[in-house]
């Protein structure tokens, strides 16, 4: 399951990473309602899947993996904090396991996506891999020697909150100049608005949209305008490419990954910016002319990466038990 601030997505996944069945519901605003919603979706899928004898011969559902957009404790039983969910230091895994009668494993959503891409997608077989999920903000997962790196307290790696511009744009985390404030869907819209303020004479379609209702502008709208050849939007996308490359160079200086997988909603527009981001990355990394550079690819599993990774981790945990 992929539990986000807007929706709860679930899938029945086999040991080969194939998604056999899916269901979705909205994300309620209270703990009890959220857990009821999760339990309801699990029951729906189990009833539908198990009644059919296990689609594809995969057998009955045997474990649950929850990919959560928040801080997950090192024991992977507790959600310590989730900015868009109701849980605060909540024993979520035990509550859900009691409700549905199955073993439950928790994981940060970007970590789960990294596992999915490592087992079945773009990072398959890599010893050191980073996943950077670019959407409203930036989520990240890191695998060292093929194993997830969660840090001492389970919350690593918060790469989206690396400071790239001292005293830069304010971030909801309380800091200023975080990477995700310059490289995300939200950042793309903010950059377009800043560019229009800097060049007020612009008369492009996007400029007229901003002037009419700047609060309604989205990164998706900017990306679409860039694809249509709007020069203001193309400049905003070029800024995103620059900051993606600069940020990846910082990540590579610390972790030296073989591969970086770009995931999340913004990755759908990768043809607009990824080649330019690679150039910025190669120019910014320390000693770039004298070392191998990470391959930078887009995710292969798309929106299913966190579902597939959470399922793989749940099966792995069940086997250990």
Residue-by-residue DSSP string for 19-48:
EEEEEEEE--SSHHHHHHHHHHHHHHHHHH
CB neighbourhood size of 28 (10 A): 16
Higher pLDDT, 316 or 64: 64
Enter the tokens of residue 56: 């594809």
End-to-end CA distance of the chain: 20
Predicted local confidence at residue 53, as pLDDT: 59
Predicted local confidence at residue 212, as pLDDT: 86
Predicted local confidence at residue 202, as pLDDT: 77
- What letter does residue 178 receive in the DSSP assignment? B
Helix (H/G/I), strand (E/B), else coil: 300: coil
Is residue 56's pLDDT more than 90? Answer: no
Enter the tokens of residue 127: 């010893």
* Residue tagged 């010893």 (tokens): 127
Which of 218, 138, 223 has its CA nearest to residue 184? 138
Q: What share of the chain is helix, strand, coil (3-state, %, to 5)?
A: 45, 20, 35
Which of 204, 209, 270, 202 has its CA nearest to residue 240? 270
User: What's the rounded mean pLDDT across residues 264-279?
Assistant: 96
CA distance 248 to 285: 8
User: What's the rounded mean pLDDT across residues 54-73?
Assistant: 81
Predicted local confidence at residue 5, as pLDDT: 84
CA distance 315 to 64: 8
**How confident is residue 132, by pLDDT bands cut at 50, 70 and 90?**
very high
User: What's the rounded mean pLDDT across residues 96-113?
Assistant: 95
CA distance 202 to 222: 15
Helix (H/G/I), strand (E/B), else coil: 86: coil
Is residue 52's pLDDT more than 70? Answer: no
CA distance 129 to 257: 5
Is residue 19's pLDDT more than 80? Answer: yes
Is residue 6's pLDDT more than 90? Answer: no
Beta strands per DSSP E along the chain: 2-3, 7-13, 19-26, 64-68, 71-72, 79-81, 88-90, 104-108, 128-134, 138-144, 147-148, 259-263, 295-298
Task: Write out pLDDT tens, residues 188-205.
Answer: 999 999 999 888 877 888
Which residues are bridge partners to 133 per DSSP? 139, 263
Predicted local confidence at residue 317, as pLDDT: 85
Angle subtended at Cα 34 by Cα 110 and Cα 148, rounded to the nearest 5 degrees = 20
Question: With the C-alpha atoms ordered 244, 245, 250, 255, is the resulting torsion angle positive or negative?
Answer: positive
CA distance 4 to 105: 16
Percentage, residues of the chain above pLDDT 70:
97
Task: Write out pLDDT tens, residues 136-189.
Answer: 899 999 999 999 999 998 889 999 999 999 999 999 889 999 999 999 999 999
**How confident is residue 58, by pLDDT bands cut at 50, 70 and 90?**
low
Residue 142, Ramachandran bin (φ over 0: left; ψ between -120 and 50: alpha; else beta): beta
CA distance 193 to 199: 10
User: What's the rounded mean pLDDT across residues 130-135?
Assistant: 96
User: What's the rounded mean pLDDT across residues 109-125?
Assistant: 96
Enter the tokens of residue 290: 């004298």
Task: Write out pLDDT tens, residues 196-232.
Answer: 988 887 788 899 888 888 888 999 999 999 999 999 9
CA distance 42 to 52: 15
């Amino acid at each position: 399951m992929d539990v986000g601030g807007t929706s709860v997505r679930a899938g029945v996944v086999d040991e080969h990473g194939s998604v056999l069945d899916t269901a979705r519901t909205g994300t309620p605003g209270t703990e009890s309602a959220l857990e009821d919603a999760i339990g309801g979706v699990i029951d729906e899928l189990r009833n539908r899947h198990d009644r059919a004898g296990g689609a594809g011969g995969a057998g009955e559902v045997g474990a649950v993996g929850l990919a959560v957009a928040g801080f997950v404790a090192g024991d992977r039983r507790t959600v310590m904090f989730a900015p868009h969910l109701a849980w605060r230091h909540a024993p979520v895994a035990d509550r859900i396991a009691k409700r549905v009668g199955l073993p439950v494993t928790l994981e940060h959503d970007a970590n789960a996506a990294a596992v999915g891409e490592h087992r079945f997608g773009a990072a398959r077989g890599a010893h050191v891999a980073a996943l950077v999920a670019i959407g409203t903000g930036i989520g990240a997962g890191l695998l060292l020697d093929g194993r997830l790196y969660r840090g001492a307290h389970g919350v690593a790696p918060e790469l989206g909150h690396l400071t790239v511009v001292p005293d830069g744009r304010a971030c909801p985390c309380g800091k200023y100049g975080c990477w995700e404030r310059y490289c995300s869907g939200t950042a793309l819209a903010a950059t377009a608005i800043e560019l229009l303020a800097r060049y007020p004479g612009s008369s492009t379609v996007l400029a007229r949209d901003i002037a009419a209702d700047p609060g309604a502008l989205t990164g998706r709208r900017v990306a679409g305008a860039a694809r249509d050849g709007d020069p203001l939007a193309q400049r905003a996308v070029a800024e995103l490419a620059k900051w993606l490359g600069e940020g990846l160079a910082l990540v590579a200086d610390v972790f030296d990954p073989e591969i970086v997988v770009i995931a999340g909603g913004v990755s759908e527009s990768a043809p607009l910016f990824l080649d330019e981001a690679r150039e910025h990355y190669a120019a910014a990394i320390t000693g770039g002319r004298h070392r191998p550079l990470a391959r930078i690819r887009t995710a292969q599993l798309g929106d299913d990466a966190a579902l597939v990774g959470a399922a793989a981790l749940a099966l792995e945990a069940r086997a250990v038990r």
